[in-house]
Amino acid sequence: MKTTSFRLDEVELKRIEKLAQEEGEDKSKTVRELLDYGWEYLMIKRYKDGKLSLSRLSQELEEPISEVMDKLAELGIQTPLEKSDVLEGYEALTKEY
């Protein structure tokens, strides 16, 4: 794992410290989890705004389409499958076997 540094203001640092304490984790792990959540949120928002297809969202989140669809359903986001999504999923499935 690589190390990097960032400049944070007091509010951001207090939020990280508070969350780390509440979760019983160190600050580094808390920051990594927040980055993951932020990435997931950004990608889902792009999908919702029509900027990403379902298959691309699945790739960005590094999760199978079925899990991504479950996640979207939990958030109340419609997942209308288009023909191209189904075909891409079928092609990916047939390549694995």
How confident is the model at residue 1, as a pLDDT? 85
On average, the pLDDT of the chain sits at 89
pLDDT in tens, 17-51: 999 999 999 999 999 999 999 999 999 999 999 99
Report domain extents, the chain.
10-96
Read off the DSSP letter of residue 29: H
**Whole-angstrom distance, CA of residue 5 vs CA of residue 7:** 7
pLDDT at 66: 85
